[in-house]
Amino acid sequence: MTRLLKLIVALCVMLLVRGASGAPDLLKDRNGGFEHGLTNWLVHFPDHDFLKNNISCVSVVRDGLRPHVLKFELSHAAAENWGVQALSLPVRIDFRKRYKLTVSARTTGPNARLYVMGKRWHPKARRSENPVNADTRDVFKGPVLSFSGEKGTAQFSNVRRTWATASVEIPPREMTDLAYGFWQKCEFLEIHLVGIGGSAGQLFLDDIRLEESGPVIHKTGRK
């Protein structure tokens, strides 16, 4: 094999590993595809009045050709009120960079809010290399991912009845100076997968990815 051919093969392998976007998936080793059940996802909220039974509504199942899919089972009351949710463990990030959340999903009735929260260390946390959700606090709320093409203005994700894939960037490309100030405080991102709205039924989620998508370029003066 010639040297040039070896370089071409190596480049192709690198592209396959990194995906079509060319950026590494920050959830690759964090169970973004649910191959390891609910590992690295927070679904148990025993101290929350309305989410005490959340864990009983969450499972990982096969759906057609997809062997490991996150499934939310929503009653009519859950869909109209508190929903069902799963949160990723905090992912360390650099606020100077922009990130892209990608999700594949389908529904039999429930809608969803799929988004990312920017987080920072909680003042009382014992800092470690592998923080848990309770070690951080909210700083910045990213826009809701939309399957209907809305950019930064969606209230719900509008999940379709058949499998589809959509993405959203955090932070938005246009921010007020105040919002940018909050974004600069972010040290972690936490993915929120929330089944809510719509009607009773099942919400299926898979292939959760979080990738860098370029630098944050903020133009000052926006209010």
- Answer whether residue 150 is part of any domain: yes
What are the residues facing 91 on neighbouring strands?
189
Contact at 8 Å (CB) between 100 and 90?
A: no
- What phi and psi, each to the nearest 5 degrees, are found at residue 42? -90, 115
pLDDT in tens, 124-152: 999 999 999 999 999 999 999 999 998 88
Measured between alpha carbons, how far is residue 157 from residues 62, 143, 162 in Å? Answer: 23, 10, 14
User: What residues of the chain score a pLDDT lower than 70?
Assistant: 1-22, 221-223
- Answer whether residue 121 is part of any domain: yes
- Answer whether residue 211 is part of any domain: yes
Q: What is the span of the domain harbouring residue 204?
A: 22-215
0.85 exceeded by pTM:
yes
- The confidence score (pLDDT) of residue 162 equals 99
- Answer whether residue 17 is part of any domain: no
Tally of residues, the chain: 223
- Answer whether residue 133 is part of any domain: yes
Where do the DSSP E strands lie in the chain?
41-42, 58-63, 66-74, 84-88, 91-92, 97-107, 110-121, 136-141, 164-170, 188-198, 201-215
CA 177/CA 51 separation, integer angstroms: 35
CA 46/CA 220 separation, integer angstroms: 43
Number of domains into which the chain is organized: 1
CATH number of the domain within which 150 lies: 2.60.120.260
- Answer whether residue 176 is part of any domain: yes
- The confidence score (pLDDT) of residue 39 equals 98
Render 83-102 in DSSP notation, one character per residue: -EEEEEPPEE--TTEEEEEE
- Answer whether residue 184 is part of any domain: yes
- Answer whether residue 15 is part of any domain: no
